[in-house]
Amino acid sequence: MRHPLLRELPSPIGALGELALDLHWTWSHGTDALWARLDAELWERTRNPWLILLNISSQRLAALAADASFLAEYDRAIAARAAYMSSPTWWKERGGDDASPTFAYFSMEYGVGEPLPIYSGGLGVLAGDHLKTASDLGVPLVAIGLLYQSGYFRQMLDAHGRQLELHPANVPYSLPITPLVSPDGTRFIVPVELPGRVLRLQVWLAQVGRVPLYLLDSNDPLNSAADRGITGQLYGGDAETRLAQEIVLGIGGWRALAALGIRPDVCHLNEGHAAFVTIERARAFMQEHRLNFWQALWATRAGNVFTTHTPVAAAFDTFPVELLAQYGRDYAASLDIDARNLLALGRPPGGRDDDPFNMAYLAARTCIHINAVSRLHGEVSRRIFQSVYPRLPAQEVPISYVTNGVHMASWDSATADALWTEACGKARWMGATAAHGQALASVDSARLWQCHAAERAELVRYARRRLATQFGQRGADAHAIALADELLDANTLTLGFARRFTEYKRPNLMLRDAERLARLLLNRERPVQVIVAGKAHPHDTLGKELVRQWAAFANRADVRTQAVFLEDYDLALAQMLVQGVDVWINTPRRPWEACGTSGMKVLVNGGLNLSSLDGWWAEAYAPELGWAIGDHGSDDEGDAQALYRLLEEVVIPEFYERDANGVPLRWVARVRASMSNLAPQFSSNRMLLEYVANAYQPAARMYRERAAEGGALAVRLSEWGHLLRHRWREIRIADFDAQRAGDSWNFLVHVHLGGVPDDAVAVQIYAEPTGNEECIVAPMERGAQLAGAINSYLYTCRLVSTRPATDFTPRVIPYHPKVRWPLELPLVQWRGG
C-alpha cells in the first residue's frame, strides 16, 4: 500500500518508504546507520525515518541513489527485513497455518516508539511490547487503537520547578502511518452511531513488523467540531468524551475489523476501556445467525479475553447511568433488549438503579478469561471483583494472572545486545527464553562490568545533552547551558527513578530525609548520583507538588552535579535510563502497584533493582538478585529508613569494593544472577507464550465450537443457563451429617433440586483455607433418590482430613462440561443460605 505523500523515489532505493513505514526499526537497529546517512541531524532529533523521507530533497535522494556505499547499506537493510518477514517463526514451527485463529488486541494506548506518541505510560508501553513480541514470534495478531490528535501531554518545568503541560499536535501525515483507502479509491471510513448523528472514523495503519495496528481517527471534516475532538487527547476531556472514546475503540474497532474482512477468533481487551467490543461482537453474531442477543453472547463470550491492570476499584472507568442511557438507548434497541438489562452488565448484582456503569464489570461478564498482571495483583483483583461474584469466597473469584514482561530487544543497549548475542545467539528473543540464563551465567566478570560501564557513560552523555536542551528551553544563557557538561560522572554509582508521579508510588520516599540523601550523594570516597524523571497527571495537584520537590532538590547548589531531574519522561528517555543506571529504585505502597514493568527493563542491561515488595518484584525478588523494602506497604517512615540503610550499608559498599583489576566482584556476581535468572523470566516472550497457551488458544477452540452450525451449541447453553437462573432458588440443602471413620470423614447430605435437572449441578464439600492449608473443594456423589421427594437425592463424600467437621459445609454449583463456572454463570447455593 503506497502512502499518498510518498514521492516517486529513485529506483535503486525505491523501497525506502516501505522500510520507513515499518515500525520494526523501533526495536531492530540494523537500519539506524541508513537513516543517519539520509539526514544525521534530523535522525538524531526525531528518530523518525518517515519524517526524514518527507523532508529530504530530491537532489539528496538522487545523490544517495548513486552512492555505492549507501546502496550497500540499503541492500543490507532490505535483505534483513525480507529475512525477518520470511523466516520461520515460533508460531509456524508449532503448526500454525493459514487456518490458524486470529487474535485481535484492543488497547486505548500503544507505546511502540517515540515517533508515534499515542501513549501515556506503562499500559501503552506494555501494549507496544505485546505487539512487537507477537511480530517476533509470528503470533497471528492484529491490533486496534485510537489516533490522538495530540496524544498525552508533554512536560516542561518552569524556573520554579512547577510542571507545565504542553499539547503539541500530532500531524498524521508526519507520523509513520498510512491512511487506508477503500477499493473505490476513497478514504476508508467506519461509521458509528452516536445520539442524533453518525460519527465518521478514518482508519490508519501502523505496521509493527508482522503485526498491523489499525488506528481510528474522528478528526474528519464531516464530523462536528465536538466529535472531531473525540480522538483529541489521550485520557482527556470530560466523562462524555471518555465514553465516546471507549465506544470508538470497542464498537468502532470491531466494525473496522469487519470492514477489513478480518474475523478474529479471540478479542483481547487490554483493560476495561475496550469492553464495548464484546457487545458489538455479540450484536454482529446475532445479526449474522439470526439469534437473540443472549444466545449470541454465549457464543462470542467464549472468544473474549480480559486483562485488568487496576490495583484499586476506584480506578475503574465508570460512567453515570444518565450518560449511558443517553448513548445506549438506541444501541440497546438494536440488540432487542431492555436498556436496563444492558446497564446491568456493568453493575454488581443487586445494584441500585443509579449505580454507575463499570467498564471492568462489563468486561468481566462478557469474557471467558480474566487475568491480572502479577501474582500479587491476582490476589488483589480477586478481592476487587468479588462484588461481581458476591456469594463466592475471594479465592474462587475467576481471575488468574499472567505477570507482565518486557520486549527485551526494545530496551537493551547496543553493548548489551552484543553481549547477549555472543552468549545466546542472534535469535534469542524469537522464541522461548528459559535456556538463556545458563548461557549468560558463564560470561566473564570483567566483560559484564565493562559492558555496563559503557552503558553508564552513554547515559551520562545523553543526560547532559538533554539537560542542555532543557536549560535552553527555559531561556538560560550560554554559560548556564554549557554547565550541563559538568553534571554527572561516568564512573559514579548511578541511581535511577522514573515513573508517573502520583502519591501511591511514593516518588519522594528517597527525599524523606533530604540531608541524609545529600550526604550520600556528596561522599567524596564513594559518591552517588541520581537521575529522576516523571510526569504528574494534569489534575493531580499532589503529584505536581512531588515533581516540584524533586526539581527543587536537584537545583540545590551543593547537589546540582549529583542529582538531575530530566523533563518530559518519554520512551526515548526511558530507553536510555534503563540501559545506563546501576540501580533502579521503585517505591510503591504495597499492594497498589499492579505489576510495574520499568524495573524489568534494566535486567537485560545489567542494572539491579531496589524496590518495594510489590507487583512483579514480589515474585521475582531473592537476596542474591537485588534488594527489597516494604513487605507491608503502610510504613512510609520505616520504608524510607530501610532504603537509606540499604544504600549506605550494602549497595554503595558493594559497588565500590574492587579487586586488583578494578572489578567489583560481589556487585558483578549480583548482576550476573539478575541477568541470567530474571531477564529470560520477565521477557515478554514468556508473557505472550503464557497468553497463547492459557488464554488465546483455549478461547479460540471454545469460540469455534460454540459458533459452529450457526451457534447451535451457544443456543443450547443459553437455554440451559436461562433455566438455571430461573429455577436456582428452588434448590435446598438439608440434613447434613458428618461421621468420623479413622482418618476420614464420611459426609452425607440431602439436596432438593426443585426444577433444576440433576445433571445440571455439582454438589461439593467446601472448607475455607486456614493456617497453611488451602481451601478444600471435594465432589460429592449422587446416590439414591430420597423417598417421597421429587428430584431430591442423597449425596455422599469420603474425605481424608484432620480438620473438624465444623470446618466443612456442602454447596451446589451449576455444572455443564462446556461451561466455565463461576465465570459464565456465577450461581452457588450454600447450606442455610
364-378, 598-612, 764-778: which has the minimum mean pLDDT?
A: 764-778
Q: Distance (Å, rounded) from C-alpha 318 to C-alpha 309?
A: 15
Beta bridge partners of 190: 201
Q: Where is the domain boundary, 86, 115, 141?
A: 86
Q: Distance (Å, rounded) from C-alpha 253 to C-alpha 274?
A: 9
Q: Distance (Å, rounded) from C-alpha 503 to C-alpha 536?
A: 10
Strands 178-179 and 318-319: unpaired
Q: Which of 153 and 828 is assigned the larger pLDDT? A: 828
Residue 639 lies in a domain: yes
557-566, 650-659, 767-776, 790-799: which has the minimum mean pLDDT?
A: 767-776
Domain count, the chain: 4
How do residues 433-449 score in pLDDT, each as one tens digit? Answer: 888 888 888 889 999 99
- The pLDDT-based confidence of 707 (bands split at 50, 70, 90) is very high
Rounded to the nearest 10 degrees, how much is the dihedral formed by the CA atoms of 407, 409, 413, 417? Answer: 140
Within 8 A by CB and 6+ apart from 253, the residues are 104, 106, 144, 214, 216, 274, 277
Q: Distance (Å, rounded) from C-alpha 520 to C-alpha 585?
A: 15
| Single-letter code of the amino acid located at 202 | Q
Q: Distance (Å, rounded) from C-alpha 402 to C-alpha 447?
A: 34
pLDDT at residue 245 in the model: 97
- Kindly state the DSSP code that residue 110 receives in the 8-state scheme: B
Retrieve residue 662's grid coordinates.
Answer: 578494578
Q: Distance (Å, rounded) from C-alpha 429 to C-alpha 419?
A: 14
Residue 554 lies in a domain: yes
Query: How many alpha carbons fall within 13 Å on the CB side of residue 494?
Result: 32
Residue 552 lies in a domain: yes
638 membership: H or E segment, kind and range: helix 636-646
pLDDT at residue 29 in the model: 85
- The pLDDT-based confidence of 175 (bands split at 50, 70, 90) is very high
Q: Answer whether 422's CB lies under 8 Å from 81's CB.
A: no
Domain around 138: 104-404+693-707
Whether 100 shows a pLDDT value over 80: the answer reads no
| Single-letter code of the amino acid located at 289 | H
Retrieve residue 148's grid coordinates.
Answer: 490522538
Question: Over the chain, what is the mean pLDDT?
Answer: 94
Within 8 A by CB and 6+ apart from 426, the residues are none
- The pLDDT-based confidence of 98 (bands split at 50, 70, 90) is low
Q: Answer whether 807's CB lies under 8 Å from 767's CB.
A: yes
Q: Answer whether 100's CB lies under 8 Å from 264's CB.
A: no
**282 and 306 belong to one structural domain:** yes
**162 and 255 belong to one structural domain:** yes
**163 and 184 belong to one structural domain:** yes
pLDDT at residue 193 in the model: 95
pLDDT at residue 348 in the model: 85
Residue 414 lies in a domain: no
Residue 726 lies in a domain: no
Residue 5 lies in a domain: no
**What percent of the residues of the chain are helix, what percent strand, and what percent coil, each to the nearest 5?**
45, 20, 35
Q: Distance (Å, rounded) from C-alpha 212 to C-alpha 260?
A: 12
Q: What proportion of the chain, given as a percentage, has pLDDT over 90?
A: 84
Helices (H), 425-529: 436-441, 445-473, 478-482, 514-521
Residues in the chain, overall count: 833
Q: Distance (Å, rounded) from C-alpha 789 to C-alpha 516?
A: 78
Strands 761-767 and 776-779: antiparallel
How do residues 185-205 score in pLDDT, each as one tens digit? Answer: 999 999 999 999 999 999 999
pLDDT at residue 475 in the model: 85
> Which residue, among 300, 301, 285, has the nearest Cα to 368 in the 3D structure?
301
How do residues 219-260 score in pLDDT, each as one tens digit? Answer: 999 999 999 999 999 988 899 999 999 999 999 999 999 999
Q: Distance (Å, rounded) from C-alpha 812 to C-alpha 328?
A: 36
**666 and 697 belong to one structural domain:** no
What are the Cα distances from residue 555, in Å, to 80, 506, 559, 563?
A: 47, 20, 7, 8
Query: How many alpha carbons fall within 13 Å on the CB side of residue 51?
Result: 18
Mean pLDDT of 297-318: 94
Within 8 A by CB and 6+ apart from 508, the residues are 546, 549, 550
pLDDT at residue 97 in the model: 64
Mean pLDDT of 351-366: 92
Whether 665 shows a pLDDT value over 90: the answer reads yes
Mean pLDDT of 482-494: 94
Count of C-beta atoms within a 10 Å radius of residue 380:
23
Mean pLDDT of 495-510: 94
**51 and 137 belong to one structural domain:** no
**495 and 372 belong to one structural domain:** no
How do residues 565-582 score in pLDDT, each as one tens digit? Answer: 999 999 999 999 999 999
**667 and 759 belong to one structural domain:** no
Beta bridge partners of 750: 734, 794
Q: Distance (Å, rounded) from C-alpha 272 to C-alpha 246?
A: 9
Please tell me whether residue 190 adopts helix, strand or coil conformation.
strand
Q: SS in 3 state form for 710-778?
A: HHHHHHHHHHHHHHHHHHHHHCEEEEEEEEEECCEEEEEEEEECCCCCHHHEEEEEEECCECCECCEEE
**331 and 216 belong to one structural domain:** yes
- The pLDDT-based confidence of 458 (bands split at 50, 70, 90) is very high
Residue 98 lies in a domain: no
What are the Cα distances from residue 14, in Å, to 7, 40, 76, 333, 709?
A: 10, 20, 14, 52, 48
Q: Distance (Å, rounded) from C-alpha 412 to C-alpha 575?
A: 8
Q: Answer whether 128's CB lies under 8 Å from 141's CB.
A: no
Q: What is the DSSP string of 505-546?
A: G-TTGGGTTHHHHHHHHT-SSS-EEEEEE----TT-HHHHHH
Within 8 A by CB and 6+ apart from 271, the residues are 107, 108, 123, 307, 308, 309, 310, 360
Whether 373 shows a pLDDT value over 80: the answer reads yes
pLDDT at residue 89 in the model: 94
Whether 96 shows a pLDDT value over 80: the answer reads no
Rounded to the nearest 10 degrees, how much is the dihedral formed by the CA atoms of 128, 132, 133, 137? Answer: 150
Within 8 A by CB and 6+ apart from 315, the residues are none
**292 and 219 belong to one structural domain:** yes
> Cα 605 to the chain's mean position, in Å?
21
pLDDT at residue 352 in the model: 81
* Cα torsion 255, 261, 266, 271: sign: negative
Whether 424 shows a pLDDT value over 80: the answer reads yes
Q: What angle, rounded to 10 degrees, do the helices at 58-65 and 68-86 form?
A: 80
> Which residue, among 291, 490, 408, has the nearest Cα to 681 in the 3D structure?
408
- The pLDDT-based confidence of 1 (bands split at 50, 70, 90) is low
**70 and 25 belong to one structural domain:** yes
Residue 688 lies in a domain: no
Q: Which of 341 and 634 is assigned the larger pLDDT? A: 341
Mean pLDDT of 118-135: 96
pLDDT at residue 146 in the model: 98
Please tell me whether residue 497 adopts helix, strand or coil conformation.
strand
> Which residue, among 365, 388, 143, 372, has the nearest Cα to 266 in the 3D structure?
143
pLDDT at residue 775 in the model: 92
- Kindly state the DSSP code that residue 648 receives in the 8-state scheme: I
Retrieve residue 357's grid coordinates.
Answer: 456503569
**319 and 382 belong to one structural domain:** yes
Mean pLDDT of 729-748: 94
pLDDT at residue 459 in the model: 97
Q: What is the CATH number of the domain that holds 816?
A: 2.60.40
Whether 351 shows a pLDDT value over 80: the answer reads no
| Single-letter code of the amino acid located at 362 | L
Within 8 A by CB and 6+ apart from 752, the residues are 730, 731, 732, 733, 734, 786, 789, 791, 792
**520 and 664 belong to one structural domain:** yes
84-98, 312-326, 530-544: which has the minimum mean pLDDT?
A: 84-98
Cis amide bond preceding 804, omega within 30: no
Q: SS in 3 state form for 305-316?
A: EEECCCCCHHHC
> Cα 170 to the chain's mean position, in Å?
23
Q: What angle, rounded to 10 degrees, do the helices at 122-137 and 684-691 form?
A: 80
- The pLDDT-based confidence of 674 (bands split at 50, 70, 90) is very high
CA R_g for the chain: 29
Q: What is the CATH number of the domain that holds 329?
A: 3.40.50.2000
Q: Answer whether 627's CB lies under 8 Å from 670's CB.
A: no
| Single-letter code of the amino acid located at 77 | A
Q: Distance (Å, rounded) from C-alpha 224 to C-alpha 229?
A: 9
